C-alpha cells in the first residue's frame, strides 16, 4: 500500500507541469458547475429571497407537477425538440463535409485563408449577429431589396412563423460550421499519408479515397461528437433565439431556455424555473447515457465516451 502511494506521488511529481495546466479548468468547473448545484434545492422548496434557500419551506415535487400540468410547457418542449433536431440533422454533417473538402485542398495558402474566414463568425456573439440579421432581413434590408428586383413583395422574415425555424437553422449552421470542423481537421491531420499513397498506386480515385479511407478513419470522432450533440437536444440555442425572436413567432420559437429565463428572472418564479431546468438536465443525462450505450454496443468500445 505504501509502495503504491509512493508511485502515485512520483507520477504527480513527474507530471506536475501538466497538472498545473489542468488546474484552471478544474477550478472553473468546480466553481461554476459543481458549487452552484446547491441551488437545486430551490426546485423542492417554496423559495423566498428573504428567508434564503435553507429556511424556505419544503414543497416536494409541487413545481414539477405544476410544469407537467401546464399545457404551454409542452408547447415549449415541442419547439425545443423540433429546433434542436433540425439543427442536428442539418448542421451536424456540414463541419464533416467542410473538413473533408479542406483536407483535399493542396494549395496551403488558400487553405489557410478559407479556414480563417470560416472561423470568424464563431467569435462574434449573437448580440452582434442578431442585430446584423435583423437589419438584413428587415422590410428595407438588402434581402427584400434584392427580391423586389424580381417582383416579390417585401416581408418581415423574422416575424413569419413559417420560416423562422429555417432562419434559425441556416444562421446557426453558418456561424458554427467553421469552428466545428477544427476537431475533424485535427483527426484528419493524424492520418498516415502512406495509406493514401498506396491507394493512389492501386488506382483509387479521389472519391474512393474519401469514402474508403478518410471517412472510416474519423468515424470514432464523429460518433463521440454525435453523442455530445444528442445530449444537448434540449438546448436549442438560447443566445440565438433570445436575440432574434419576437411576439409574432413566440408560439414556434419559445424554447425551454427562454421559458426558464422569463419565469425565473422576469416573473421571479425561481422554484418553478429551477424545476424546469432540472427536468432539462435529467433528459440530457439520460440521452448521453443511452447514445453512449448504443455506440458501444453497435460500434465497439472505442466508439463511446467511456
Q: What is the pLDDT of residues 106-134, one digit of tens each?
A: 777 888 888 889 989 999 999 999 999 99
Q: How many structural domains comprise the chain?
A: 2
For residues 111 and 165, membership in a common domain is answered with: yes
For residues 3 and 102, membership in a common domain is answered with: no
For residues 94 and 150, membership in a common domain is answered with: yes
For residues 147 and 11, membership in a common domain is answered with: no
For residues 217 and 202, membership in a common domain is answered with: yes
Write out pLDDT tens, residues 209-268.
888 888 888 888 888 888 888 878 888 889 999 999 988 999 999 999 999 999 988 888
The whole domain housing 4 covers 1-54
Q: Are 241 and 298 in contact (CB under 8 A)?
A: no
154-192: b (≥16 Cβ within 10 Å) or e: eeebbbeeebbbebbbebbbbbbbbebbebbbebbeeee
Out of 54, 80, 98, a domain closes at 54
Instruction: Identify the CATH number of the domain in which residue 68 sits.
Output: 1.10.3720.10
Residue with cell 479548468: 25
pLDDT of residue 193: 81
Write out pLDDT tens, residues 263-279.
988 888 899 999 999 99
For residues 31 and 79, membership in a common domain is answered with: no
For residues 76 and 41, membership in a common domain is answered with: no
Residue with cell 444562421: 171
Query: How many Å apart are CA 275 and CA 73, to the nearest integer?
Result: 12
For residues 30 and 130, membership in a common domain is answered with: no
For residues 87 and 11, membership in a common domain is answered with: no
pLDDT of residue 140: 87
- Which three cell numbers, joined as nine digits, stand for 102? 479542406
For residues 27 and 82, membership in a common domain is answered with: no
Q: Is the pTM of this model over 0.75?
A: yes
Q: Confidence class of residue 189 from pLDDT cuts 50, 70 and 90?
A: confident
Query: How many Å apart are CA 124 and CA 188, to the nearest integer?
Result: 27
For residues 240 and 114, membership in a common domain is answered with: yes
For residues 159 and 228, membership in a common domain is answered with: yes
pLDDT of residue 242: 93
Amino acid at each position: 500500500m505504501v509502495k503504491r502511494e509512493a508511485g502515485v506521488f512520483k507520477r504527480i511529481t513527474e507530471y506536475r507541469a501538466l497538472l498545473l495546466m489542468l488546474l484552471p479548468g478544474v477550478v472553473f468547473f468546480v466553481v461554476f458547475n459543481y458549487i452552484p448545484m446547491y441551488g437545486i434545492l430551490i426546485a423542492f422548496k417554496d423559495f423566498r429571497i428573504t428567508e434564503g434557500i435553507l429556511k424556505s419551506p419544503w414543497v416536494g415535487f409541487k413545481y414539477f407537477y405544476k410544469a407537467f400540468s401546464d399545457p404551454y410547457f409542452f408547447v415549449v418542449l415541442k419547439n425545443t425538440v423540433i429546433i434542436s433536431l433540425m439543427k442536428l440533422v442539418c448542421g451536424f454533417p456540414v463541419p464533416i463535409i467542410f473538413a473533408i473538402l479542406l483536407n483535399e485542398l493542396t494549395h496551403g495558402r488558400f487553405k489557410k485563408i478559407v479556414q480563417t474566414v470560416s472561423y470568424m463568425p464563431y467569435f462574434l456573439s449573437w448580440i452582434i449577429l442578431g442585430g446584423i440579421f435583423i437589419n438584413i432581413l428587415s422590410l428595407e434590408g438588402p434581402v427584400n431589396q434584392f427580391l423586389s428586383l424580381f417582383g416579390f413583395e417585401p416581408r418581415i422574415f423574422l416575424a413569419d412563423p413559417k420560416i423562422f425555424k429555417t432562419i434559425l437553422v441556416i444562421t446557426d449552421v453558418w456561424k458554427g460550421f467553421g469552428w466545428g470542423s477544427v476537431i475533424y481537421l485535427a483527426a484528419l491531420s493524424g492520418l498516415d499519408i502512406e495509406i493514401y499513397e498506396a491507394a493512389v498506386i492501386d488506382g483509387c480515385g479521389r472519391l474512393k479515397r474519401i469514402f474508403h479511407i478518410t471517412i472510416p478513419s474519423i468515424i470514432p470522432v464523429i460518433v463521440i461528437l454525435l453523442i455530445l450533440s444528442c445530449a444537448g437536444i434540449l438546448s436549442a440555442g438560447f443566445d440565438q433565439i433570445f436575440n432574434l425572436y419576437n411576439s409574432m413567432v413566440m408560439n414556434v420559437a419559445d424554447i425551454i431556455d427562454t421559458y426558464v429565463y422569463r419565469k425565473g428572472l422576469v416573473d421571479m418564479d425561481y422554484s418553478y424555473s429551477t424545476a424546469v431546468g432540472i427536468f432539462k438536465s435529467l433528459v440530457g443525462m439520460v440521452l448521453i447515457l443511452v447514445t453512449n450505450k448504443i455506440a458501444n454496443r453497435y460500434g465497439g468500445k472505442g466508439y463511446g465516451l467511456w
